[in-house]
Structure 1
């Protein structure tokens, strides 16, 4: 029997898009013959993943899971919303969320983790082949507090812990769960609705601030006012933007007038202890992914082998 080298496995994996162990098995079955191994993968429906992996995956699900002082959120994408309703896909998202909860949010570590007798990446590749759409584990985030709780919230939940917007709120405190959970749930609902860009103003991305500054400068300059007045107008605009986009300074959506920081402080005072809103996560499905525009009629015509009008 021919020796199956790591280089051969790597080469077949790159050509087929199949998982590492599937490629090794294919080469073993084909006695090292690359073409025969590719045919073996195709007969098993595994090589199809290579072609599908080039298609845009901007649908899918956000998964969230918590265990006491830890919580994890993950985004797994598919090409269509139809797949997000597939039991196999939903089960995979739950499993990978549990992996992130245990191991952290490094995507490479998550993909290399075991799910049964395969790795996460190998299961994903198999899902692409069997479900028939490109899929991707896009991002993950784990939060943890030394004491307190991480509270989850899924907006428009499709299935337990799965939906289109997933939120985690990390509250550090010695207060009981009877205090932290309802507070965390309300803050999480606020986060889902208000879409903060950072926990506080110092955490705002400077590139975003500079873009807002450029816009504010252009608008203020059109007023025809003196340069010193224009400068003050620009700074005022930036301060307003920062206040409205940092979670702690946003006005709580429940009453429209109290800053979130004050809501947390009052809850702590009422409970006779300190509550710190340490961090949060807000994942919205597909945000930042540029979706491909498609002409459905043209796609149908192309599939049928005819010209569209």
Structure 2
């Protein structure tokens, strides 16, 4: 039987991040061949990653990259199952490298990005993701990618910690105004730039809800109609960027701010970690024990 030394096990652990017993078994299976053992662990790890892919990943972080000339910007959401892993050094490095490659590669969708090599050569981002899943013991998901490109406008970004990110394209007004608008979007969560951007089906649903509430009041139909329209207008003021009071100066709206500066918001994207995902609740002790078991 091949002698599996502690030094060999240690080297394999450092290269793969796998547990000691897994490394010993892989080395034994490979007859002491380090490269063969690496391949055995890699294949086993990818198999484990496939088993974890359906587990909900609702924690994580947002990353933003803007090109040096300011003409391109990308924003990325990468999820993990727990906040514990979202703060892990390997996870953080993965997010940074993937966001940098997203900017460099020109990928427009998550699917395109996952097929890009993580470095100029070597495994793809998808392969690296699956290897990280195997190493950290949690599902990790590159969930969303946004890319903005412009020739004449200003691209600005705002990150609130690592959980809320905004990209905005502003024509005119300068970099400071664009950043202020990005910060406002992060804080106030507008859904659309202007009222006419709201999809008809969304407004129809809101009217339906407001109508049911108004009818419960027992007031005459003409009064109910006015109540519904008033509530729809109030709703649009709350969720439309141009109608919202500017966060730094609530006495004027964002529309008034832009008009004074001779500027226009062309488009924006806002990501918040885990929005729209149902998070499985677990306390911190359970997260730690899950890592220990892994």
Equivalent pair of 1:104/1:141 in contact (CA under 8 Å): no
Query: Who is 1:214 aligned against?
Result: 208
Q: Deviations over 1:153-207 (max 9, x none)?
A: 1112xxxxxx00011121123xxxxx52211221111111111011221222444
Secondary structure of the residue aligned to 1:190 is helix
Matches within 5 A, 1:1-309: 40=40, 44-67=44-67, 68-102=70-104, 103-116=106-119, 117-156=122-161, 163-173=162-172, 180-268=174-262, 275-294=263-282
Distance in 1, Cα, partners of 2:169 & 2:275: 22
More divergent stretch after superposition (232-241 vs 283-292): 232-241
Aligned-residue offset at 1:45: 2.9
Unaligned runs of 5+ in 2: 1-29, 31-38
Equivalent pair of 1:59/1:84 in contact (CA under 8 Å): yes
TM-score by length of 1: 0.73
Distance in 2, Cα, partners of 1:264 & 1:235: 27
Distance in 2, Cα, partners of 1:221 & 1:241: 18
Secondary structure of the residue aligned to 1:257 is strand
Aligned-residue offset at 1:108: 0.9
Equivalent pair of 1:145/1:172 in contact (CA under 8 Å): no
Query: Who is 2:21 aligned against?
Result: none
Query: Who is 2:26 aligned against?
Result: none
Secondary structure of the residue aligned to 2:174 is helix
Secondary structure of the residue aligned to 1:224 is coil
TM-score by length of 2: 0.77
Aligned-residue offset at 1:224: 1.9
Q: 1:217–1:198: structure 2 CA closer, same or farther, 3 Å change rule?
A: same
Query: Who is 1:24 aligned against?
Result: none
Distance in 1, Cα, partners of 2:43 & 2:227: 67
Distance in 2, Cα, partners of 1:123 & 1:302: 22
Q: Deviations over 1:131-166 (max 9, x none)?
A: 22110011111112221321111112xxxxxx0001
Distance in 1, Cα, partners of 2:222 & 2:102: 51
Q: 1:301–1:114: structure 2 CA closer, same or farther, 3 Å change rule?
A: closer
Q: 1:189–1:302: structure 2 CA closer, same or farther, 3 Å change rule?
A: closer
Q: Deviations over 1:282-305 (max 9, x none)?
A: 1000000011245899999999xx
Q: 1:189–1:49: structure 2 CA closer, same or farther, 3 Å change rule?
A: same
Q: 1:282–1:43: structure 2 CA closer, same or farther, 3 Å change rule?
A: closer
Distance in 2, Cα, partners of 1:229 & 1:267: 40
Distance in 2, Cα, partners of 1:40 & 1:113: 24
Query: Who is 1:33 aligned against?
Result: none
More divergent stretch after superposition (99-108 vs 64-73): 99-108
Equivalent pair of 2:84/2:287 in contact (CA under 8 Å): no
